[in-house]
Amino acid sequence: MSADYTNHRLAILGAGVMGTNIAALALGHGVPVVLIDVSADVLAGARRTIAQKLRHAQLMGSLPADRPQGELTTGLSPRDAADATTVIEAVTELPGTKAEVLAEVSAVVRPGTLLISNTSCIPIDEMAASVARPEELVGVHFMNPAYLITMVEIIRGSGTSDRTMEAVTELLTALGRKGLVVRDAPGFVINRLLHPLINSAAALVAEGVASVEVVDGLLEGCLGHSTGPLRTADLIGIDNLVDSLNVLYERTGDELCKPSELMLEKVREGSLGRKTGRGFYDYARGV
């Protein structure tokens, strides 16, 4: 198979943070995208967000200069993905929601269509039970922002075929991404390490051991983290983190994955991070 970007037509399910990130990545590499969500208002907002992210990517020099931008269309049903060569599921990290969406889209796409889940923590084998052809399902954990970070985590389920692994490698090459393959497990590698770290950082703040700024400053200055764990939480979305932590806690029993009370409090008050203007930091005040 060729890594020619013109071979691809991408459908993305979910117009949230990661859906718009992946859409910007694909469009900037010349790949047409149909972005699917259940709300026309959400899709209208997503168009504006994607335009902003494309401008950011261009300013950062992270997109190829020799490719025309891909065309963005939108849809309100997984049936709008029927003509895609690849479907990427990027809906909220709730097992029931993912299962429902994957079941619906796998029933309408042609056999041989690459089916990717951008799952944060839910195992691929668990989701494979919902799709028509489990051998065509693979996990790709894009980092945030996907249009800037070139490394991705590829999760191979026990039923994922060699052909699917070849197809996902080809797609990622066309998108200028590099992938490392891990075996299927709750949280895989990145979030099995990162999410408990963020949760522990929030617990330290709640205990009064250190402020948000000090916790992040120490991780950045002493351990070389480019962004501290709590600013990272704001970027991911604290509600998304709580959903993922619940998945990890339910499947591993690791107490470090039980969402801290401070994280739960942030969700209850609607302070979800950058997307709401306030999380561990107040973005309305620029801090």
Catalytic machinery residues:
141
Q: Which of 41, 42, 24 is nearest to 33 (CA)?
A: 24
Q: Which of 25, 14, 133 is nearest to 77 (CA)?
A: 14
Backbone angles phi, psi at 165, to 5 degrees: -65, -40
